Amino acid sequence: MPLDDVVISRAIIERFTQKLLDHLECDVAIVGGGPAGLTAGYYLAKHNHKVVLLERKLSIGGGMWGGGIMFNEIVVQEEGRAILEELGVATLRFRDDYYTADAIEAVSTICSQAVKAGTRIFNLIDVEDVMLTEKQVTGLVINWSSVTLAGLHVDPVTMRARFVVDATGHVAEVAQIIARKSGARLDTSSGGVVGERPMHAEIGERMILENTREFFPGVYAAGMCANAVFGAPRMGPIFGGMLMSGRRVAELIAARL
């Protein structure tokens, strides 16, 4: 049978529309498709929770693709290595407790595992606001990131979620939005986004797990965002903390679902 161009278009439009409609209400909406968000998605979906991950860029993977200074190797410590191995990413011992992995293998494998576990990823979507009801975040306000980039005046739509994970990295965008727009205090020392501290891998990696927690009713911080929200150091291209934080936030939320 000859290929019909319009059938191809119809297939894409119908399937995508259905996919989006099926996910306008979910258990957990994760904002940001870096290593922390992807790992959180993997563990939540694996336990049969309905998970949506929203990423503004075309590509998923956040800051992991480029390793350090575009040398596409990442470093993890023992606990991070265990997660990579569980996901099927090969690691190589460098020395002592330092292991390396190919950044491309890491991103593509973690993404694949998250999707196969059931995380539904929507790329090219910008989270521009939250839905706030009786002092609890109940969902997200989303738009095409191309609309935001072009500065077009087009209204967004909404997505309901029982819990939201802010995994937007250094910028801590969801936390910034809540602090700026709601007038309410976040559960941090300053009541707002404290901001990340200068590089210190040892402290940064240690603090990220205690900073992976709820900072506003219904909203959890994970990954680099957790240290930015609560005011802990950055850690550069060691990624164990991102993976462990993703797993931790999944455990914390799963316990409440």
Q: For binding to ligand 48F (CB under 6 A), which residues are involved?
A: 31-37, 54-57, 62-64, 126-127, 167-169, 171, 173, 223-225, 234-236, 238-239, 242
Least spacing, CB of residue 152 vs ligand 48F, in Å:
17
| Closest to ligand 48F by CB, 156 or 192 | 156
| Closest to ligand 48F by CB, 9 or 236 | 236
Q: In what order do the strands lie in the sheet with 73-76?
A: 73-76, 98-102, 92-95
| Closest to ligand 48F by CB, 64 or 219 | 64
| Closest to ligand 48F by CB, 50 or 159 | 159
| Closest to ligand 48F by CB, 25 or 129 | 129
Least spacing, CB of residue 39 vs ligand 48F, in Å:
8
Least spacing, CB of residue 130 vs ligand 48F, in Å:
10
**Contact at 8 Å (CB) between 220 and 253?**
yes
Least spacing, CB of residue 55 vs ligand 48F, in Å:
5
Q: Give the list of residues 6+ apart from residue 125 with CB closer than 8 angstroms, or none.
A: 54, 55, 56, 142, 143, 144, 145
Give the chain's end-to-end CA distance (angstroms, integer).
Answer: 49
User: Is 76 in a helix, a strand, or coil?
Assistant: strand
Least spacing, CB of residue 246 vs ligand 48F, in Å:
7
Q: Which helix (H) or strand (E) holds 161?
A: strand 157-166
Q: What count of Cα atoms within 13 Å lies in the side-chain half-sphere of residue 154?
A: 13
Phi, psi of 113 (to 5 degrees): -65, -40
